[in-house]
Amino acid sequence: MLIVKEEICREVIGRTEAFRAVEDVFAAMASGKAYNFPVIREAIGYADALYGFKSGFDKAGLVLGLKAGGYWPGNEARGLTNHQSTIFLFDPDTGQPKAMVGANYLTAVRTAAASSVSIKHLARSNSKVLGMIGAGFQSAFQMQAALEQRNFEKVIGWNLHSEMLSRLEETASDAGIPFEAVDLDRLGREADVIISITSSFDPIIMKAQISPGTHLACMGTDTKGKQEVDAELFAIATVFTDEIAQSISIGEAQHAIAIGLIKDTDITPIGAVINGDHKGRTSDDEITLFDGTGVGLQDLAVASVAVELAIKHGKATEIDL
């Protein structure tokens, strides 16, 4: 079995590799060649931790495995990342373990790749202003990946905890793009593309605040009860997702579904757009929304590429089990 450490993943996987892996696996999911198994996520009643598994099989890429991990709120005080993830890959022909891969960095790049794929396929081609809602750990990865998809001239941002906005300012500055902190009315009015990546349990951005033609990538809602977008805004948007089953149960769609504003048949897998089976955006006035819930196959896809590249560069460690 091979071991690929966190630091090796950082060395071998960049945004381009992550983007390609995630776009390909979304396409495979939509054409029925790859599927996610039901997610397990439990409060373990110890250390306030949430722990679980995301898993699946990609028959097109022959990738089988699972991501184990969760959220330990006390980690920060110990100098560790609160979110902890490890991926295990198995040989689909024999079931033998193939690789164990450190997945904290991979989780960040695969999540950023998902919103970036949605911007590529759904945002207006003339998008100039990127709006960021959220300024936590993931936000920098999100912004960097998004900036590669359009000729953005400016980033504007809002965060509940304003002291965290410096992360957005520094990330934009590193990319050579001006940044301005704004209120939510201005953010909704001026942004052509909005990414939300927060831990909110209440809607942050409302229907009345959004301009026609906006593309929203809602990335924070990955658990029952979380919410970033007003259900009425959700209902007027053309909605796409990574996986419909997750979107309606743990994603942003759970709220609009619960109050009967939309049905699951109103939601399209982004892979259908990638495959050319759905036309995606149809006018410059349409509001499009990507509900990015985070699926196990995204994790397995980037881990599989990390293993391949680590082997190629002689950076995978082999052990006997």
Residues that bind ligand NAD (CB under 6 A): 83, 107, 111, 134-139, 159-161, 164, 197-201, 204, 219-220, 222, 292-294
Across 79-113, b (16+ Cβ under 10 Å) vs e yields eebbbbbbbbbbebeeeeebbbbbbbbbbbbbbbb
Q: State both tokens at 268.
A: 């399209």
> Minimum distance between the CB of residue 262 and ligand NAD, rounded to whole angstroms?
19
In the block, tokens 């939300």 appear at 196
> Minimum distance between the CB of residue 223 and ligand NAD, rounded to whole angstroms?
7
> Minimum distance between the CB of residue 275 and ligand NAD, rounded to whole angstroms?
21
Query: Which residues lie closer than 8 Å to 130 by C-beta, 6 or more apart?
Result: 143, 146, 147, 150, 152, 154, 155, 156, 191, 192, 193, 194, 195
Element (H, E) at 241: strand 238-241
> Minimum distance between the CB of residue 83 and ligand NAD, rounded to whole angstroms?
6
Residue 269, classed as helix, strand or coil, is strand
Closest CA to 18 of 313, 300, 317: 300
Distance CA 276, CA 280 (A): 9
Residue placing its CB nearer to ligand NAD in the complex, 149 or 241: 241
C-alpha dihedral (207, 208, 211, 217), degrees to nearest 10: -30
Residue placing its CB nearer to ligand NAD in the complex, 2 or 104: 104
> Minimum distance between the CB of residue 291 and ligand NAD, rounded to whole angstroms?
9
Q: Which residue(s) pair with 227 in the sheet?
A: 201
> Minimum distance between the CB of residue 139 and ligand NAD, rounded to whole angstroms?
6
> CA angle, corner 201, sides to 196 and 203, nearest 5?
60
Residue placing its CB nearer to ligand NAD in the complex, 250 or 287: 250
Residue placing its CB nearer to ligand NAD in the complex, 5 or 83: 83
Give the catalytic positions in this structure: 67
Residue placing its CB nearer to ligand NAD in the complex, 82 or 275: 82
Q: Which residue is nearest to ligand NAD (CB)?
A: 136
Residue placing its CB nearer to ligand NAD in the complex, 37 or 201: 201
Distance CA 123, CA 287 (A): 9
Q: State both tokens at 230.
A: 């007003």
Distance CA 311, CA 137 (A): 29
Closest CA to 183 of 209, 216, 158: 158
